Chain A
Amino acid sequence: DARVTQTPRHKVTEMGQEVTMRCQPILGHNTVFWYRQTMMQGLELLAYFRNRAPLDDSGMPKDRFSAEMPDATLATLKIQPSEPRDSAVYFCASGFWGFGNTIYFGEGSWLTVV
């Protein structure tokens, strides 16, 4: 049963610490997305990659967030330094652009910054 895998599932960290979230997309999918969900803003697209190349990261605060895809099986989202306002659920999602176009989500990483 193919699925998007995210780690960690839950993370509590202190303000100022570095946080790295990891994602393994579904094998064969060529597009990977990072979304953030908060009560106030709902679901926001932070960044996405196609064929490992970053296409759009306009949704990310550039000074503290970075997203990379070092290989086809791993995408990372890093926050440094973290702030309380970064507390949210972060979703990784993947899909195959060109056919189907359905996007599948991981279970999310719950981040709390205290």
Chain B
Amino acid sequence: AQTVTQSQPEMSVQEAETVTLSCTYDTSESDYYLFWYKQPPSRQMILVIRQEAYKQQNATENRFSVNFQKAAKSFSLKISDSQLGDAAMYFCAYRSITGGGADGLTFGKGTHLIIQP
């Protein structure tokens, strides 16, 4: 079974600064998907960014980018020019590409991101 670990329960950053959230995972599969979801106080789960394991290029979405290190099984999220609206819980998630066994997302415990004005 896959596991996802987020070692930072809470992070704090000044507005306009850059912050990196860490995520590691464990899997025996060679192909899979990785995601970062944002959960603001409203509890809505919002997709931030996704990465296909077979792609070497790191995914980017505006101010959000990832550092995907497949060999190290690491998938960190970098938020540049952080804004007050970025304050939320951030979840790293893994999904098998085969879907033959257990499907769905395996989530980390989350990182609470605080933005200091």
Interface size class of chain A, counting residues whose CB lies under 8 Å from the partner chain: 20 to 34
Per DSSP, are chain A's interface residues mostly helix, strand or loop, or mixed?
Answer: strand
Whether A107 lies near B104 (C-beta < 8 A) is no
Asked whether B85 is an interface residue with its Cβ less than 8 Å from the other chain, the reply is: no
User: Please, which residues of chain B bring their CB within 8 A of the CB of A33?
Assistant: 103-105
Whether B102 lies near A43 (C-beta < 8 A) is no
Whether B91 lies near A43 (C-beta < 8 A) is yes
Whether B43 lies near A55 (C-beta < 8 A) is no
Whether B102 lies near A56 (C-beta < 8 A) is yes
Whether A43 lies near B107 (C-beta < 8 A) is yes
Whether A42 lies near B109 (C-beta < 8 A) is yes
User: Please, which residues of chain B bring their CB within 8 A of the CB of A45?
Assistant: 102, 104-105
Whether A108 lies near B110 (C-beta < 8 A) is no
| Complex A-B: 15 CB contacts under 8 Å | A31-B103, A37-B43, A42-B109, A45-B104, A48-B103, A48-B104, A56-B103, A91-B45, A93-B105, A101-B33, A102-B47, A103-B104, A104-B47, A105-B46, A107-B43
